[in-house]
Chains A and B, each alone.
Chain A
Amino acid sequence: KAGVTQTPRYLIKTRGQQVTLSCSPISGHRSVSWYQQTPGQGLQFLFEYFSETQRNKGNFPGRFSGRQFSNSRSEMNVSTLELGDSALYLCASSLLGIPRNEQFFGPGTRLTVL
């Protein structure tokens, strides 16, 4: 089985621009979660989508949004980029209902905001 894939792997943007990141989950996984990783704040939960619906949301401003498509692929969007949005963005997929709720991570998208 193919793992979780994320595109693009690297991205450079300037302040004020917007960006869209993509995540394709493991086949059959319907839950996709997004995390932001920075040296200062560590790993922080952004949001989770299940069956095209946002099921959980972290404590991030409205500039961060996401969606999930019928094939379970997910996108996250950040509008009006700020320098502090520079981070590694990780997505993870899981099979909800399986008792252990394991999440399998993609390789991440490294976003640099100049």
Chain B
Amino acid sequence: AQTVTQSQPEMSVQEAETVTLSCTYDTSESDYYLFWYKQPPSRQMILVIRQEAYKQQNATENRFSVNFQKAAKSFSLKISDSQLGDAAMYFCAYINNQGGKLIFGQGTELSVKP
């Protein structure tokens, strides 16, 4: 069975600084996708960034980038120039190429200090 692990329950960053959230996963499948979702206090899940396992190039979306290490089964999220609005719970998630079922990590609560 596939599993996703986020080992940092809480993280804190100073405004304008950079922070990295960690995620590891376990799977025997070769074709899959990884995501980072953000859940602010409103509880609305927002997709931050996606990575296709078959792509070696790390995904980037503005201030958000990932470090995808397929052999190590690691998928970390880097947030640059952190803003107060980045404060939220962040979930790492896995889905195989069949789709339909996301497997989530336990989440990392990020606080941003002004």
Q: Which chain A residues lie closer than 8 Å to B95 at the CB level? A: 101, 103
Is B97 among interface residues, defined by CB-CB distance under 8 A?
yes
**Count of interface residues, chain A, beta-carbon cutoff 8 Å:** 26
Check if A43 is an interface residue, CB within 8 A of chain B: yes
Count of B interface residues, CB-CB < 8 Å: 23
Can you name the residue of chain B whose Cβ is closest to the Cβ of A49?
B100
Contact with A along B34-73 (1 / 0, CB 8 A): 0101000011111100101000000000000000000000
For the complex formed, measure the closest distance between the CB of A106 and the CB atoms of chain B, giving whole angstroms.
Answer: 8
Please tell me if the beta carbons of A102 and B47 are within 8 angstroms of each other in the complex.
yes
CB neighbours (8 Å) of A64 from chain B are: none
Q: Which residues 82-99 in A have Cβ within 8 Å of B in the complex? A: 88, 90, 92, 94, 96, 99
Q: Please encode chain B, from 89 to 114, with 1 for each CB lying within 8 Å of some chain A CB and 0 for all others.
A: 00100010101111111110000000
CB-CB nearest 3 A-B residue pairs: A105-B45, A101-B99, A48-B100
